[in-house]
């Protein structure tokens, strides 16, 4: 059973990451907002466009494994400034509920971990992020809702053919997203997030993404127990 102490600890972790992360001016590889809500998905598909160090088109698929866990697949393409070739990326991950909002505490907390790779511009980047998404859902009229969230995470970043000598580089970085999800109805939502990278290897430009999340009526179902 999740306690208020657990939620406070997760929230402090999120705040610490926000305070610690540093913005950097030069990108060597690639990053984009994770668009991860603080709650488990039963099934949804997101199409998003991100800007920052170029333009990125992102596709996401989240699928519930249980009432407290889901898996995710990411894929997309980026046209980065200063690069003569496109960057392709693919990744996957798992998410687990740590806390749900109750009358005693207002926050949903989701643990998220994954791995991904991007290829392009003469470099290959591998990232293994682990973090928490923390937020709260505010119910609105006519079945709509708004969920602001923050998603800090630590990431192991390994890049091939990066740096001034085009050798390999690696580091552990701190990154975070700050975003919101506007749920129009049970099937459709608009999701936006700003991403801030603390990575010298993956790049330090701030990014911003806007996406549309859809759960088709014929595919909508309850999360498996």
What is the domain-level CATH number for residue 85? 2.40.160
Whether 220 is in a domain gets the answer no
pLDDT at 148 over 80: yes
| φ, ψ (nearest 5 deg) of residue 167 | -95, 175
52 membership: H or E segment, kind and range: none
Q: Tell me the pLDDT tens digit for each residue of 111-136.
A: 999 999 999 877 889 999 999 999 99
User: Residue 78 forms beta bridges with which residues?
Assistant: 56, 87
Number of domains composing the chain: 1
Q: What is the pLDDT of residue 22?
A: 33
d(CA 109, CA 25): 31
Largest pairwise CA distance in the chain: 58
Closest by Cα among 60, 66, 25, 23 to 45: 60
Residue 144 CA, distance from chain mean position: 23
Whether 221 is in a domain gets the answer no
Whether 79 is in a domain gets the answer yes
State mean pLDDT over 160-165: 65
State mean pLDDT over 28-36: 78
pLDDT band, residue 205 (cuts 50/70/90): confident
Whether 115 is in a domain gets the answer yes
| φ, ψ (nearest 5 deg) of residue 12 | -65, -35
What's the mean per-residue pLDDT of the chain?
Answer: 83
């Amino acid at each position: 059973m999740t306690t208020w102490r657990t939620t406070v600890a997760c929230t402090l972790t999120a705040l610490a990451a926000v305070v610690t992360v540093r913005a950097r001016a030069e990108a060597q590889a690639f990053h984009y907002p994770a668009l991860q809500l603080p709650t488990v998905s039963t099934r949804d598909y997101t199409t998003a466009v991100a800007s920052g160090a170029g333009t990125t088109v992102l596709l996401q698929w989240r699928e519930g494994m249980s009432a407290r866990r889901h898996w995710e697949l990411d894929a997309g393409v980026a046209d980065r400034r200063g690069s003569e070739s496109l960057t392709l990326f693919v990744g996957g991950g798992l998410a687990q509920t740590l806390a749900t909002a109750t009358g005693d505490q207002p926050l949903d907390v989701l643990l998220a971990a994954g791995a991904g790779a991007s290829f392009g511009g003469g470099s290959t980047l591998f990232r293994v992020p682990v973090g928490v998404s923390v937020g709260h859902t505010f119910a609105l009229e006519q079945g709509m809702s708004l969920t602001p969230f923050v998603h800090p995470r630590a990431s192991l970043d390994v890049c091939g053919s990066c740096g001034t000598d085009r050798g390999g580089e690696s580091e552990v970085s701190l990154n975070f997203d700050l975003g919101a999800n506007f749920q129009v109805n049970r099937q459709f939502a608009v999701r936006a997030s700003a991403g801030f990278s603390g990575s010298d290897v993956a790049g330090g430009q701030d990014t911003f993404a806007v996406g549309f999340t859809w759960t088709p009526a014929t595919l909508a179902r309850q999360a498996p127990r």
